[in-house]
Amino acid sequence: MSSNPLRDPRDRRLPRVPEPCALVVFGITGDLARKKLLPAVYDLANRGLLPTNFALLGFARRDWGDVEFSELARSAAREHARTPWREEVWERLANSVRFIQGSFDDDNAFDELASNLAELEGSHGIGGNAAFYLSIPPAMFPTVLKQMQRTGMAESTPDRWRRVVVEKPFGNDLASSRELNALVDSVFTADDVFRIDHYLGKETVQNLLALRFANELFEPIWNGHHVDSVQITMAEDVGIGGRAGFYEKTGAARDVLQNHLLQLLALTAMEEPVEFSAEEIRTEKLKVLRAVTVPEDKARFAIRGQYEQGWLAGQRANGYRQEEGVSPESTTETYAAVRLGVETRRWAGVPFYLRTGKRLPRRVTEIALVFKRAPHLPFAPTDTEELGHNQLVVRVQPDEGVTLKFGSKVPGSVMEVRDVAMDFLYGEQFTEASPEAYERLLLDVLLGDATLFPRNAEVEASWAVIDPLEEYWATTEPHSYRAGEWGPRAAEDMLAAEGRSWRRP
């Protein structure tokens, strides 16, 4: 960008504000748009982070006018906004909200969208810049992308940028993701494609980089000499909700393991990037993902599970096969646990245990580094009976923060060492600086900052890890576990086989 005398890098009070632009959301009436995107747009406006010339265009099949849409957007934003409601902020935003009705194969609707954009370029001074958010099922991508190509909306020129935001799932195996990438890249240039993995927008995930690379304390022990194993958990207490149709085809591994968990693994295991920039961080992540190996003995080290009827949080929960819209013989997994290796000098021999599941006792996401035991303990064996492994736990959600677990003497006349925990709670020290993940990511898209977005090569490398597992699982039945327990027995055995056990998050 050209220089502006009022911009001063030392002036940290002035926010980074994107250039004038429009945000076009396909599928604006959907759940994600109402619960996350619209509130995020309002929160950004309220924090003064949207450019003065900004327009929001919604595209959906519903037969609505601008007024009805504006009303829906208002109530959605108001209900889910993070920041306090200020009517005057919304009113300014509402002036530049448009709704375009049409189905995705309707040429007229897209022509209308294109002409609306061109009109806003003048009337709202958005300067031709636009980001397209595809909040729609992936099956619709080809249609929408072709329409955008036909109307010439997707072209970035030196005068203007056009960006596209894609939500996961990015395909359902390596072949389909390649196809999807090829399609998106044929319409938009690779640099203009932003793949949202909302986990990467979370402060703690970004803090993982600060923790590792801004401190002297952790990096020296962040390797196979000191780390015994790494456990990455993403547990949900909810079932599949109303998403049976989607989930039946997807399953836990494709839904969570392929993207969130592998991204967390990449950030945990990656080498130090040359500099804190999108390109360098992606390069390091990609190296790790390419070094990931899947276990030979998949029967033991790649476990899937499916929840049965049980009790969770004091309520009876249906089994997966009894959920509405799920086949009674379904073999879709709702739980996946796998032991991966990272074949680099830093991590050779350290198992990375990844697990995710639905209907587990609580909602929690965390990365735990379990350290080796001290090579020599000068205490009597009875003194350290209760001493476990030292652990460094990065809690991603909820209670974002870091826990350090180590041994300490129990007060008293005998020497007895027991584990204690030292806690850093993000919300305690910096309540303010926790924007919603979508807020952050949306702003980054408008600013053109791709640091927190996986690149297509990363997506493909991730599928290369998942595909052999899926191939093996296709021939097996998932293990069963009761709703409300921490996964199937076989997952416990998987760690027990190597003398380890899962940490209870």
Residue numbers annotated as active site: 260
Q: What is the DSSP letter of 412?
A: S
Interface residue with other proteins among 139, 157, 159, 375 (CB under 8 A) is 159
Residue 216 binding other proteins, by CB under 8 A: no
Q: Is residue 11 part of the contact set for other proteins (CB under 8 A)?
A: yes
Least separation, in Å, of the C-beta of 413 and other proteins?
24
Which one of 36-44, 117-125, 213-221, 294-302 is the stretch in contact with other proteins (CB under 8 A)? 117-125
Residue closer to other proteins, measured from CB, 46 or 268: 46
ω into residue 398 within 30 of 0, thus cis?
Answer: yes
Evaluate whether 16 touches 53 at the Cβ level (below 8 Å).
no
Q: Which helix (DSSP H) or strand (DSSP E) does residue 90 occupy?
A: helix 87-94
Q: Estimate the share of the chain in helix, then strand, then coil, as percent rounded to the nearest 5.
A: 40, 20, 40
Kindly state whether residue 214 participates in binding other proteins, applying the rule CB under 8 A: no
Single out the segment in contact with other proteins by CB under 8 A; choices: 83-91, 106-114, 210-218, 253-261.
Answer: 83-91
Task: Name the residue nearer to other proteins (CB basis): 297 or 428.
Answer: 428
In 77-148, where do the E strands start and end?
97-101, 130-134
List 54's β-bridge partners, or say none: 21
Using CB under 8 A, pick the residue from 17, 221, 447, 464 that binds other proteins.
17
Binding of residue 19 to other proteins (CB under 8 A): yes
Quick count: other Cβ atoms within 10 Å of Cβ 493? 12
Q: Say how far apart CA 355 and CA 492 lie, in whole Å.
A: 11
> What is the DSSP secondary structure assignment for residue 169, as one 8-state letter?
P
Are 113 and 155 within 8 A, CB to CB?
no
Residue numbers 378-437 binding other proteins by CB under 8 A: 423-425, 427-433
Question: Which range, of 87-95, 141-149, 315-323, 364-372, touches other proteins by CB under 8 A?
Answer: 87-95
What does the alpha-carbon distance between residue 470 and residue 497 come to, in Å, rounded to a whole number?
A: 22
Residue 369 CB, nearest distance to other proteins (Å)?
21
For residues 292 and 476, what is the distance between their CA atoms, to the nearest angstrom? 23
Task: Tell me the backbone φ, ψ of residue 142, rounded to 5 degrees.
Answer: -55, -45
Q: 39: cis peptide before it, omega within 30°?
A: no
Residue among 315 and 429 whose Cβ is closer to other proteins: 429
Q: How far apart are CA 53 and CA 249, in angstroms?
A: 42
The answer to the question of residue 217 lying near other proteins (CB under 8 A) is: no
Q: Which one, 47 or 178, has the nearer CB to other proteins?
A: 47
Q: Which of 27, 39, 102, 127 binds other proteins (CB under 8 A)?
A: 127
- Residue 21 parent element (H or E): strand 21-26
Q: Which residue's CB is nearer to other proteins, number 125 or number 245?
A: 125
Q: Which residue, 7 or 316, is less far from other proteins as judged by CB?
A: 7
Closest separation in Å from C-beta 23 to other proteins: 16
Q: Is 122 in the site for other proteins (CB under 8 A)?
A: yes
3-state secondary structure of 87: helix
For residue 50, give the DSSP letter: S
Among 103, 123, 293, 327, binds other proteins (CB under 8 A): 123
Window 459 to 498, contacts with other proteins (CB under 8 A)? none
Give the Cβ contact number of residue 5 at 10 Å.
5
Q: DSSP letter for 6, please.
A: T
Q: In angstroms, rounded to a whole number, what is the distance separating the alpha carbons of residues 381 and 374?
A: 13
Q: Does 157 bind other proteins (CB under 8 A)?
A: no
Number of residues that bind other proteins (CB under 8 A): 44
Q: Which is nearer to other proteins, 397 or 403 (CB)?
A: 403
Residue 256 has φ and ψ, to the nearest 5°, of -125, -45
State in angstroms the smallest separation of the CB of 202 from other proteins.
19
Taking the least distance from each CB to other proteins, the nearer of 377 and 422 is 422
Considering the complex, what minimum distance in angstroms separates the CB of residue 47 from other proteins? 10
CB of 45 to other proteins, least distance (A): 7
- Cα angle 267, 273, 274 (rounded to 5 degrees) comes to 175
Question: Minimal distance in Å, beta carbon 15 to other proteins?
Answer: 6
Contacting positions for other proteins (CB under 8 A): 1-8, 10-15, 17, 19-20, 45, 48, 51-53, 86, 88-89, 92, 95, 122-125, 127, 158-159, 423-425, 427-433
